[in-house]
Amino acid sequence: MTTTQSSFRSDPPRAAISGSVGTQALRLAVSREVDIPDQVKIARYGRLPELGPRLLFFSGGTALRDLSKALVRYTHNSIHLITPFDSGGSSAKLRHAFGMPAVGDIRQRLMALADKSLHGNPEIFSLFAYRLAKDGSREILIEELQTMIEGTHPLVAVVPHPMRRIIRNHLQRFFEEMQDDFDLTGASIGNLILAAGYLENRQHLDPVIYIFTNLVRVRGVVRPITSRPLHLGAILADGHVVIGQHLLTGKEAPPLSARIEKLFLVNDDYLPVKCTIRDKIRTCIRKADIICYPMGSFFSSVIANLLPRDTGMTISANNCPKVFIPNTGHDPELIGYDVAAQVEMLLQVLRKDDPEHMRVSDVLQFVLMDSHDEWYPGGIDEERLKGLGVSVLRLPLVSTASAPYLDPVLLLPVLLSLA
């Protein structure tokens, strides 16, 4: 296949890029000489964020929270496809009680993208982030929940109408549906409200997401990658099978002892299932101006989002740039994986629908990394990455304040420039 070397201008800093991609893919992804950061483009987005680019992220939890908060200054059209597979903490209790997808990461992203200047939104943020006590008796927790339903709780009383009435109605619905043995300790109020909306709308997440998107003016689109209540399963290199996202992340359980070889989806009976993306998700992917596989838990956030069938095929049909942003620092899920191995796994999952005919450049073109190798466990094998058919774009992305993690202030202008 004919290849060409891609080049970028950066003033300052200068972007270093290596690797080769197909001529057609390069032409589609970058049809002109690009400044990174492109200050003219960024200024234009800042003046008219309502006309900003459709940056699409396949993501999960908190890794993109700060980036999302900064993003709304430049675009109100970003797209966030979220994993609903969390099986730990408050989400696990709701999933067990109501057979529903996890809503915690969806709640966090809605709040991160909400219009901070809107009257009443700061009060709503505080309420949605509030958790009941982890050590309170059931009687005390129910009493506190009742004060919220009545509207006398301090966090509810300050929320303006009509949002206060909607919140009270949702909490009342949750209380009516709650089983006598439901464990309220540590419960996220925001999760309870979204769970009530899910029950109110015949076990569908989209309507309640739509309601809250409009009420708090979410500046972007948030969608679960699937609305089915599924769980993650993993086959490890030592032959063990692990079921449940919370057992993979190293946060609520001991870190994995062996490398993850394969990730798959299961139902509540722990039986493997086939899942195909919905038409709404296809539309989101087709509209994107740039597709990003971002930092975050590599398997339980990024790879998990790509498991439904036809995801890779739909991505390949969009000629926009596709970018992978590897984690800096330590990710417990990445035992045995350096950056090149991550790219190999990412390409394997993205091309699973049609590996013989889907080109690498159809699903991934750029690996965006900090200028220094020290932040990446296992180092950077650029020759190996080049052999995979991707280009490596090196820029200062880790600041003194953010180290060892990527700084959204440095990362966001790069993504906006590529869009």
pLDDT tens per residue, range 358-408? 999 999 999 999 999 999 988 899 999 999 999 999 999 999 999 999 999
pLDDT attached to residue 14: 42
Kindly calculate the radius of gyration of the chain based on its CA atoms and give it in whole angstroms: 22
Report whether pLDDT(1) > 50: no
pLDDT digits (tens, 9 = 90+) for 258-278: 999 999 999 988 999 999 999
- Distance in angstroms (rounded) separating the CA atoms of residues 43 and 47: 6
Which helix (H) or strand (E) segment holds residue 292: the answer is strand 290-293
pLDDT attached to residue 33: 62
Q: Which one is predicted more confidently, 90 or 339?
A: 339
> Per the structure block, which two tokens stand in for 356?
């013989």
- Distance in angstroms (rounded) separating the CA atoms of residues 310 and 413: 30
pLDDT digits (tens, 9 = 90+) for 163-221: 999 999 999 999 999 999 999 999 999 999 999 999 999 999 999 999 999 888 999 99
Burial label for 3, CB within 10 Å (0-12, 13-18, 19+), is: middle
> Per the structure block, which two tokens stand in for 301?
């956030």
- Distance in angstroms (rounded) separating the CA atoms of residues 356 and 204: 36
- Distance in angstroms (rounded) separating the CA atoms of residues 23 and 156: 57
Of 9-18, 35-44, 75-84, 229-238, the one with minimum mean pLDDT is 9-18
Which helix (H) or strand (E) segment holds residue 192: the answer is helix 189-200
Residue 368 CA to its chain's centroid (Å):
17
pLDDT digits (tens, 9 = 90+) for 157-172: 999 988 999 999 999 9
- CA dihedral for 278, 281, 313, 57, sign (positive or negative): negative
Strands 366-370 and 391-395: parallel
Strands 3-4 and 21-22: antiparallel
Strands 16-18 and 55-59: unpaired
pLDDT attached to residue 120: 78
pLDDT attached to residue 16: 46
Of 25-29, 68-72, 142-146, 402-406, the one with minimum mean pLDDT is 25-29
pLDDT digits (tens, 9 = 90+) for 265-320: 999 889 999 999 999 999 999 999 999 999 999 999 999 999 999 999 999 999 99
Report whether pLDDT(140) > 70: yes
- Phi-psi region at 97: left, alpha or beta (left = phi > 0; alpha = psi -120 to 50): alpha
For the CA atoms of 317, 318, 322, 327, what is the dihedral angle to 10 degrees?
-80
**Phi and psi, residue 348, nearest 5°:** -60, -45
Report whether pLDDT(13) > 80: no
CB 361 within 8 A of CB 331: no
Report whether pLDDT(2) > 60: no
CA distances from 345 to 234, 322, 409 (A): 14, 16, 29
Q: In DSSP terms, which residues pair with 293 in a beta bridge?
A: 324
| 413: preceding bond cis by omega (within 30 degrees) | no
Counting DSSP H helices and E strands in the chain, the numbers are 18, 13
Kindly indicate the confidence band of residue 29, based on its pLDDT and cuts at 50, 70 and 90.
Answer: very low
This prediction's pTM: 0.91
Report whether pLDDT(60) > 90: no
Q: What is the amino acid identity at position 359?
A: R
Distance from the first to the final alpha carbon of the chain: 26
Place of tokens 């993109």: 64
pLDDT attached to residue 34: 65
- Distance in angstroms (rounded) separating the CA atoms of residues 81 and 211: 18
Which helix (H) or strand (E) segment holds residue 392: the answer is strand 391-395
pLDDT attached to residue 251: 83
Q: Classify residue 272 by its DSSP letter.
A: B
Report whether pLDDT(235) > 50: yes
Report whether pLDDT(328) > 70: yes
Q: What is the amino acid identity at position 6?
A: S
Residue 181: how many other CB atoms lie within 10 Å: 7
> Per the structure block, which two tokens stand in for 155?
């966090």
